[in-house]
Structure 1
């Protein structure tokens, strides 16, 4: 058996073969677990490969296996996509999980004049990816409809209105808002307003549904103008909160439930600008559990979802689909965790006084 060469030289199959006194074909087949290689030889080759720092060539491995080892992610076409901290954390978790398995993440955006399906179709047609992860789903989503027909493995972060026949990972958004209303009602709030998102987005629709269901079941009061849809960022939230503050003081809500943390922070700015105290005059609750929620004053009560771990799990799911196609879709529903902080407190008056109006 020859001595190994300098550590500065890259370890190759040829060098392993020379070191072990075996044919290069035997080394390759042992590393790839071919059944015609004796178990003793396979273990010997793989042990030497580990000790000598051998790493297979990505291009050679992909050619041998007939896979690209790349997952595609097309950024959703929305104005705030590049500043969406929730989406950024999902991508971070997804990229981390893929890299642990020597797979790559291809992230691309949508050029002007095209839509997300155009980009997905181009990636499928050019064989640049083995599968997709998609996020920020609409209730009726053209991306999901396309991928259903394409035969390409995909995992959805979120769901559509009809999610039975594909793999997805989602948060129980409706139940989370039911629990949020329950928590506020338990503190004595009756007049609870809601800043909802785009109702064509499934997560926003589910949260809206949870708010309405819980308010009806728990005898909450939804006054005129309490439910405002289409709030997608801090600026629109700031303006929507100003509309709520324009309601006469006797009819004004004492608590505000927001579709995201970013929306909640925009509403907090509006209250502060108006000279009101968040958590004392009006309580505010968000959704996402973003780190910035701990830094604002007062700290933001939120419904926490671990966006980084969501990305990790989506990565595990899509890798499994690409390497071990299941007989049935895998569907996972996680629960959000209520995280109380200083932005939510009991109303300034008792429930009996609140029913009469005023703070």
Structure 2
């Protein structure tokens, strides 16, 4: 049967058959389908064919059908809402990726007629309380967990409650895999760090430093591993003196970079695990009289907007934060609708954005040390 999608639907005498708010039974009658079939199609059940689901969704859009949220919650046990809790006390809470990420997640949820809820917490302990409260008050059917830790209590909590969730990142670095049933979406930061080292090696650098992030986060270890893999692939030794960790802010980046530059043989290039730390170092080094891209080469990671406006523009590996938000919301809703969590895992790549902050070494490591001594 082919549906007539004019609105409002009319009977053979031309009289409107739908008035006011479109109800489920009116939508079903208009399509010539049972209420159960229409309901299951709108809720994404896998036993409904894609063709039928597309037909029902199109009719619902044209007719302006919207389910009553409280009625749907009673019928399906779902409120058609996903949520994310942000720790407002994190030192880099205002990371510019957040706006694009949330825009992507909200857009994906909205396109499926779901709601995205954003809440804040003031500590890791408070985050667990907020997650529990949102679920117990039936304000969310599942959660996106950003910035995963090596040992992440949020995962244990939601698993114990049987609540669907998806990680933005991976977890359990160096530990037995206790989360084999967990969904995740991540960017291969380790590949980006490896490629950053190889890029610098190809330019002629042999003393390449690394400034990592907080080791409590899983991504910090993966990116450090990528740096080490890059050195190995380039045939360069791994020198522990050239590695600093714990930089999450511009101030951290400047401080950790100064430690590397104070070495007897400082690096002629530094790879940073985050753009914020890289930008902090660049500004500090320039204040000391160094020329970024000539005296010292710098590569970051994230692709935040400030990289384009820095002088020189920062070479970085860019993450499409909006696309990440879209994928996480979509995969989570698929999980809530019944797909196996372990089947919902995706790993994407970061894209190199070339700036002017890296180039062939203009000074040797010893010459760089002498210049630093002269400047100080």
- Equivalents in 1 of 2:54, 2:123: separation in Å? 54
Judged with a 3 Å threshold, the aligned counterparts in structure 2 of structure 1 residues 78 and 111 are, in CA distance, closer, same or farther, namely closer
Counterpart check, 1:116 vs 2:127: yes
- TM-superposed CA distance for 1:195, in Å, is 1.1
Given that 2:92 and 2:248 are in contact with CA atoms closer than 8 Å, whether structure 1 keeps it comes out as no
Structure 1 equivalent of residue 50 of structure 2: none
- CA RMSD between the two structures: 3.2
Structure 2 equivalent of residue 275 of structure 1: 289
- Equivalents in 2 of 1:194, 1:14: separation in Å? 59
Given that 1:77 and 1:116 are in contact with CA atoms closer than 8 Å, whether structure 2 keeps it comes out as no
- After superposition, residues 1-359 of structure 1 pair within 5 angstroms as 1=11, 3-4=15-16, 10-13=20-23, 31-32=38-39, 52-76=63-87, 78-80=89-91, 82-111=93-122, 114-161=125-172, 162=177, 163-220=179-236, 225-248=241-264, 251-326=265-340, 328-349=342-363, 354=364, 357-359=366-368
How many corresponding residue pairs? 338
Given that 1:11 and 1:52 are in contact with CA atoms closer than 8 Å, whether structure 2 keeps it comes out as no
- TM-superposed CA distance for 1:322, in Å, is 0.7
Given that 1:191 and 1:221 are in contact with CA atoms closer than 8 Å, whether structure 2 keeps it comes out as no
- TM-superposed CA distance for 1:111, in Å, is 4.2
Q: Which consecutive unaligned segments of at least 5 residues does structure 2 have?
A: 1-10, 42-52, 369-376
- TM-superposed CA distance for 1:175, in Å, is 2.3
**Which deviates the most, 184-193 or 172-181?**
172-181
Q: Which consecutive unaligned segments of at least 5 residues does structure 1 have?
A: 35-41
Corresponding residue SS for 1:75: strand
- TM-superposed CA distance for 1:55, in Å, is 3.4
- TM-superposed CA distance for 1:211, in Å, is 1.4
Judged with a 3 Å threshold, the aligned counterparts in structure 2 of structure 1 residues 177 and 322 are, in CA distance, closer, same or farther, namely same
Please report the TM-score for the alignment, with normalisation by the length of structure 2. 0.79
- Equivalents in 2 of 1:252, 1:181: separation in Å? 16
Given that 2:293 and 2:356 are in contact with CA atoms closer than 8 Å, whether structure 1 keeps it comes out as yes
Given that 2:169 and 2:185 are in contact with CA atoms closer than 8 Å, whether structure 1 keeps it comes out as yes
- TM-superposed CA distance for 1:85, in Å, is 1.7
- Equivalents in 2 of 1:28, 1:346: separation in Å? 68
- Equivalents in 2 of 1:134, 1:46: separation in Å? 29
**Which deviates the most, 255-264 or 105-114?**
105-114
Corresponding residue SS for 1:358: helix
**Which deviates the most, 187-196 or 142-151?**
142-151
- Equivalents in 2 of 1:339, 1:144: separation in Å? 34
- Equivalents in 1 of 2:194, 2:54: separation in Å? 56
- Equivalents in 2 of 1:293, 1:268: separation in Å? 11
Query: After superposition, what is the alpha-carbon deviation per residue over 1:248-295, rounded to whole angstroms, capped at 9, x for unaligned?
Result: 4xx121101101111111111111111111101101100011122111
**Which deviates the most, 178-187 or 57-66?**
57-66
Corresponding residue SS for 1:82: coil
- TM-superposed CA distance for 1:196, in Å, is 0.7
- TM-superposed CA distance for 1:99, in Å, is 0.9
